Amino acid sequence: MKKLLLVATAALLSLPPAFAQRVYVQVEPPHVLVEHPGPRPHPGWYWRAGYHRWDGHAYIWVPGEWIGPPRPHAVWVDGHWAHEHGGWYWVEGHWR
């Protein structure tokens, strides 16, 4: 039984993110706050800008931070809120 559970868990974790569903929010997100990140702590690091996260009831500000790339020449693409007929949804930031 344990082995079956481990196999099922591994199969679920290996599903591609294309199966993730969007969560729509009917309330427009607030304007992004202006942050002053200061000097880059290491060459090649990127500033991941702060953003408003929806917690199910209200938007909560998540401050930005410096992040190191996972591989040489990777570029950080910030996350953002997008709008469709169903409302607002969050597009995750990612490395390109």
**CA angle, residues 78, 48, 32, in degrees to nearest 5:** 70
Q: Is residue 45 part of a domain?
A: yes
pTM: 0.74
User: pLDDT at position 6, please?
Assistant: 47
Q: Is residue 17 part of a domain?
A: no
Kindly report, residue by residue over 55-79, the tens digit of the pLDDT: 999 999 999 999 999 999 999 999 9
Q: Report the distance separating Cα 75 and Cα 89, nearest Å.
A: 23
When divided into structural domains, the chain yields a total of: 1
Q: Which domain holds residue 51?
A: 22-95
For residue 68, what are the CA distances in angstroms to 10, 22, 38, 42, 51? 28, 27, 15, 8, 19
User: pLDDT at position 2, please?
Assistant: 59
Q: Is residue 15 part of a domain?
A: no
Kindly report, residue by residue over 16-66, the tens digit of the pLDDT: 555 678 999 999 999 999 999 999 999 999 999 999 999 999 999 999 999
Comparing 17 with 82, which gets the higher pLDDT? 82
